[in-house]
Structures are given as structure tokens and as C-alpha cells.
Amino acid sequence: MKSAFQSRRAVAGEQNGFAGSRAVFRALGAIGLVLVCLAGTRPLAAQVASSGDAGGYTLSAGATASGYQVQYGEQKLLGVTALVDVDTRRRIGLEAEGRWLLFHQNNDVHVTEWEAGPRYHFTHGKFQFYGKGMIGIGQFNFPYNYAKGTYLLIAPGGGVDYRLTRRMTLRLADVEYQFWPQFTYGSMTSAGVSVGLRYNIF
């Protein structure tokens, strides 16, 4: 049975996390507005573009296998990540991710994450290098399922892709270093790497 002290700390963590989540949802709303603007400008860009670098955007989606080390209890978790990239041909884009770190659990500790943010990319031959700045929410399941908290998540990162075909890209490595500034037991960090495939829709 949980102690009253544990319950109060878990509830406090959830309240802090949800307060941060409201700010995150506002940020994600702004990102959504940018996506709408990009979608609206694509037909115009197609009319006036005189070269492949003159405008427009590309949309791709993919999935990766992910491995992360979480500071709380030095947990090493494995999982899967789903991603969507919207890239302009001027090297600026947006990325959104959902990540489920559900495998290799210890005492039922697991993590679910939702992130989005801008990314900058450049291409050299068949390689594409990128950096990104993500913000979102992380849902943390505490040991033995005694509590679950939702927290603000800030994650700078970057990686490299390799183009296999016109449509298919191998994500050689995607690295993130995550900050959980409102975690129940004080600020927490986590870091991980993902490897997978990305498909260019258009």
C-alpha cells in the first residue's frame, strides 16, 4: 500500500507536469499553425519555382527502434518511435515524434513521450545531416505501478540519414539528450539513440 507521503509526491508531480503540459500544448498549437501555413504555400511555390531549391516542402514518415538510459534508477529502456518530418527545400523543417519505451523494464518502470519541434538539415551526396530542438510531454510510470506522472520534456538532438532510394531513407542514427525539469524528485535527464527507416511520401 502507498504511504500518504508517496501519494502526495506523486500527485504534486502530476500537477507540476500538467501545468507544464499546458504550455507545451500551446507551443504545439503554434507548430501546427506553421504546418498549415506550409501546406498553403506549397501550391503557390509550385507555380513560381524555377528550380528544385526555390520552394515547396517534402513530407516523410518513419519508424525506429530506440534505446534510452533514464537517470531515475539508471533505467535502460528499449522501445519504438514513430516520426513525421516536414522539410522545406531551404533546409528548415519540423519533426514530430511519439516514443514508447516499454521493453527491458525493471519493476514496471516505462516511459511514453510525445515531442515536436524545428529541425535544420543539409545534404551531402546521399547523406543528410540534421539538428533539432524538441519540446513535448513525457509520461513516466513509477516502480510497481504505484503512480504515473506527466511532465514537460525538452530534447535537443540530431542525426544522420542515408538515402537508399528516391522514396526510402535509412536513419543511421538519431540522438537526443532530454531534460525533465519538472520531474517529481527533481530535474532529471535521459539520453538515447534510435535507428530505423523513413519513407518520403511526397
Quickly list DSSP for 45-114.
HHHH--STTSS-EEEEEEEEEEEEEETGGGEEEEEEEEEEEEEETTSEEEEEEEEEEEES-STT-EEEEE
pTM: 0.74
21: domain range? 4-200
Are 177 and 189 contacting, i.e. CB atoms less than 8 angstroms apart?
yes
CATH of the domain at 44: 2.40.160.20
Count structural domains, the chain.
1
Please write the tens of the pLDDT for every residue from 41-65: 444 434 433 333 456 889 999 999 9
Mean pLDDT along residues 157-171? 97
Apex 197 CA angle, 179 and 97, nearest 5: 30
- Looking at every residue in the chain, the average pLDDT score rounds to 82
Q: Which of 188, 156, 189, 190 is nearest to 174 (CA)?
A: 156
User: Whole-angstrom Cα distance, residue 44 to residue 110?
Assistant: 45
Mean pLDDT along residues 11-24? 45
- Which three cell numbers, joined as nine digits, stand for 133? 530542438
User: Whole-angstrom Cα distance, residue 70 to residue 177?
Assistant: 10
Helix (H) or strand (E) holding 160: strand 148-163
> In the structure, what pLDDT confidence band is assigned to residue 29 with cuts at 50, 70 and 90?
low
Please write the tens of the pLDDT for every residue from 120-161: 999 999 999 999 999 999 999 999 999 999 999 999 999 999
